[in-house]
C-alpha cells in the first residue's frame, strides 16, 4: 500500500492507477518526499482560491470554508501518493472537499450548512421527477442585482443544486467530471443542472422583485 490510513476513510478519496503506486515504491524516502512536495506546490496549492470559493459556497460561511479548505489540503497531502499526475488536480481536490463536506459536516449541528446537507442527501433520492423549466424570456430584472445578492441567491439553493451550478457554470467542469466528483450518474447531473438553473432564475427574479426592480420590456 502506498499510504497509511491514519483514520481517514479510503473510500473518500479518488483512486489512482497502480503504476503511480509502483513509481512511489521505486523512489527513496527523501526523493519521494521532495517529489510529493513538488506536486503539492505546483498542482495543488495554486488551486487554493478556487477551492476556498467552492468551500465557501458549499458551507455558506467563511469560518467553515476555512476549516473545509484546511481539511481538504491536509487530506490531499496525506494521500498525495494516490494523486496520479496528468489527471485533473482540480477535480481530485474538489472530490476530496465534497466528501469531507458530506462526511464531516453532516455530524456538525451548526449553521446553514447542516440544513443544506440534509437538502443534499434528500435530493439524491428524487432526481428522476419530470423536467420542468421556465421559458419566460421577458423577465431579466435580475440583471440589476449586484454580486452580494447573486451570491446570497446561489447560497440559498439546496446544496445539491448550488453544487452543480458551481461546478458547471463557475468552474466549467464537464458533466463527466461533475458526475465523478459528486458520485452520481451523468443523467442526474444533466437533470439536476436543469432544475438548479431554473431554481436560481426564480430566486433571482424573486430578489429583484423584492427590491423593486421591474421588467421594463413588458
- Say which residues have a Cβ less than 8 Å from residue 29's Cβ, sequence separation at least 6: none
Between CA 1 and CA 194 the distance in angstroms is 41
**Interface pattern 25-64 for other proteins (x via CB under 8 A):** x---x--xx--xx--xx---x--xx--xx-xxx----x--
- Say which residues have a Cβ less than 8 Å from residue 193's Cβ, sequence separation at least 6: 164, 165, 168, 175
Q: Which is nearer to other proteins, 157 or 160 (CB)?
A: 157
Least distance (Å) between residue 2 CB and other proteins: 5
144 binds other proteins (CB under 8 A): no
Between CA 11 and CA 103 the distance in angstroms is 11
208 binds other proteins (CB under 8 A): no
Least distance (Å) between residue 25 CB and other proteins: 5
CA Rg value for the chain: 20
194: cell is 436543469
Of 20, 21, 156, 209, the one binding other proteins (CB under 8 A) is 21
Of 197, 209, 213, 215, the one binding other proteins (CB under 8 A) is 197
Nearest CA to 83 out of 48, 50, 39, 27 is that of 39
- Say which residues have a Cβ less than 8 Å from residue 188's Cβ, sequence separation at least 6: 127, 179
Query: Applying CB under 8 A, which residues contact other proteins?
Result: 1-4, 6, 21, 24-25, 29, 32-33, 36-37, 40-41, 45, 48-49, 52-53, 55-57, 62, 65, 69-70, 73-74, 77-78, 80-81, 131-133, 135, 137, 140, 142-143, 145-148, 150-151, 154, 165, 168-170, 174-175, 190, 193-194, 197, 200-201
Amino acid at each position: 500500500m502506498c499510504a497509511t490510513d491514519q483514520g481517514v476513510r479510503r473510500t473518500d478519496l479518488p483512486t489512482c492507477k497502480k503504476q503511480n503506486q509502483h513509481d512511489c515504491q521505486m523512489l527513496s524516502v527523501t526523493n519521494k518526499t521532495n517529489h510529493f512536495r513538488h506536486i503539492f506546490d505546483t498542482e495543488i496549492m495554486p488551486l487554493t482560491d478556487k477551492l476556498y470559493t467552492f468551500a465557501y459556497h458549499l458551507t455558506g460561511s467563511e469560518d467553515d470554508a476555512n476549516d473545509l479548505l484546511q481539511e481538504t489540503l491536509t487530506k490531499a497531502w496525506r494521500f498525495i501518493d494516490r494523486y496520479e499526475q496528468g489527471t485533473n488536480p482540480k477535480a481530485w481536490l474538489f472530490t476530496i472537499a465534497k466528501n469531507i463536506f458530506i462526511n464531516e459536516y453532516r455530524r456538525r449541528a451548526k449553521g446553514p450548512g447542516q440544513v443544506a446537507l440534509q437538502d443534499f442527501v434528500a435530493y439524491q433520492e428524487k432526481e428522476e421527477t419530470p423536467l420542468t423549466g421556465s421559458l419566460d424570456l421577458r423577465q431579466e430584472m435580475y440583471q440589476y442585482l449586484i454580486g452580494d445578492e447573486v451570491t446570497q441567491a446561489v447560497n440559498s439553493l439546496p446544496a445539491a443544486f448550488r453544487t452543480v451550478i458551481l461546478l458547471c457554470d463557475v468552474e466549467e467542469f464537464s458533466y463527466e467530471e461533475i458526475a465523478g466528483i459528486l458520485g452520481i450518474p451523468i443523467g442526474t447531473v444533466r437533470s439536476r443542472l436543469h432544475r438548479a438553473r431554473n431554481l436560481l432564475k426564480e430566486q433571482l427574479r424573486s430578489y429583484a422583485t423584492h427590491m423593486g426592480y421591474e421588467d421594463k420590456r413588458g
